[in-house]
Amino acid sequence: MVGKRAPARILLLVTGVFVNGGIQRFNHTLLAALSALDLECDVLSMHDSLQSTAPPGFGTRTSIRGFAGSRWKFSQCAFRNIVGNRYDWILIGHVNLLVFAIATLLLKPFSRTRAVLIAHGIEVWGHIGRLRRLAFLRLHTTLCVSRYTRRRVLEQVPKLHHDRLAIFPNCLGSTWTGLNPSPQRPVPDAPFVLSVSRLERGDRYKGIVTVIEALSQLDDPSLHYIVVGHGNDTVFLREVAARCGVAQRVHFLHGISDAELVSMYAQCKAFVLPSGNEGFGLVFLEAMYFGAPVIAAAEKGALDVVRDGETGLLVRFGDSMAIKRAIERLIGDAVLREHLRERGRSTVVGDGEFTFAHFTRRAGQIFSPNENCAI
């Protein structure tokens, strides 16, 4: 009689799990999925605190060790784990860790450990040099969160076989689906559109400027624009609003609780983020879940999340007039607005393609010892 096979053992190398950011939220959701599959997972997190431990929701098979930003200590520990322990999988959470992980794994030439990289977005769209190209060829699989990311990797590593790159989209994690709206903090008693974004100078591709310009061109002067986020570009954005003559209708808010944000998603006329460089666009799923019709740019990873006329409206990146027309179309067409709300939400509830259940099944197809099927 054949004994039950032991659960797969995974070493996950990441930049962060509990610190803020889109990649970190992906890592958090991934760990929840691996835990749901009852897989054993040792996590080394470069930027999480030294006191980081796995919360109860991750189960007893997950352990997390943080290194508070110390690259040297993180590398030492990762080296010891790769060389000294037996793992079925080395899961690499960021391309910056790829060459180190593959080089260390090569010190065990007879190891059956398989290496997998998660490719999110901009970090792999144009930064794959010679050493990284060689490391990509040693990977068992590259998990790409969008079709655009997969294409950009293949363009830069043409020797990489297509079958070794899988589409592995993000999902809406339980940190959002368990939230209830709270009374909204004071905002203008007027209809508004909403954006949620970092406001750093390097993130101007998010398209906040073009939304402000679109607002100034609307025939209806009663519509306001709320931007939830903060960063070193806020002063510049306020100047843009003043220059466009809409400073009194553009509001920058930060320190917003998740529950307060839920209320804003539910009350806004549209969620607008015409970004030109989204690796996936998790924020669109958040907006859809809470009932906001979405306007996005027809660019890169956003195309995997927002389907024009079905789950949202797509506009040309950088085109403020197209944003103006999309906003006016949504506000003026209640039937379209409700259609987009319903179809958008259907992707993140029940058996929708961006639910945690689907995400977990995709992870199981790769890492479960009892599964041997492709994605």
Q: What predicted TM-score, i.e. pTM, was given to this entire model?
A: 0.90
What's the rounded Cα separation, in Å, for the pair 359 and 170? Answer: 7
Residue ranges of the chain with pLDDT lower than 70? 1-6, 54-56, 175-188, 369-375
Cα 34 from chain centre: 17
What pLDDT score does 163 carry? 94
Structural domains of the chain in order of their starting residue, each with its CATH number: 9-171+355-367 (3.40.50.2000), 176-346 (3.40.50.2000)
Q: In this structure, how many other beta carbons lie within 10 angstroms of the beta carbon of residue 87?
A: 22
pLDDT single digits (tens) 220-278 = 999 999 999 999 999 999 999 999 999 999 999 998 888 889 999 999 999 999 999 99
SS (H, E, C) the chain: CCCCCCCCEEEEEECCCCCCCHHHHHHHHHHHHHHHCCCEEEEEECCCCCCCCCCHHHCCCEEEEECCCCHHHHHHHHHHHHHHCCCCEEEECCHHHHHHHHHHHCCCCCCCCEEEEEECCHHHHCCCCHHHHHHHHCCCEEEECCHHHHHHHHHHCCCCCHHHEEECCCCCCHHHHCCCCCCCCCCCCCCEEEEECCCCHHHHHHCHHHHHHHHHHCCCCCCEEEEECCCCCHHHHHHHHHHCCCHHHEEEECCCCHHHHHHHHHHCCEEEECCCCCCCCHHHHHHHHCCCCEEEECCCCHHHHCCECCCEEEECCCCHHHHHHHHHHHHHCHHHHHHHHHHHHHCCCCCCCCCHHHHHHHHHHHHCCCCCCCC
pLDDT single digits (tens) 82-122 = 999 999 999 999 999 999 999 999 999 888 999 999 999 99
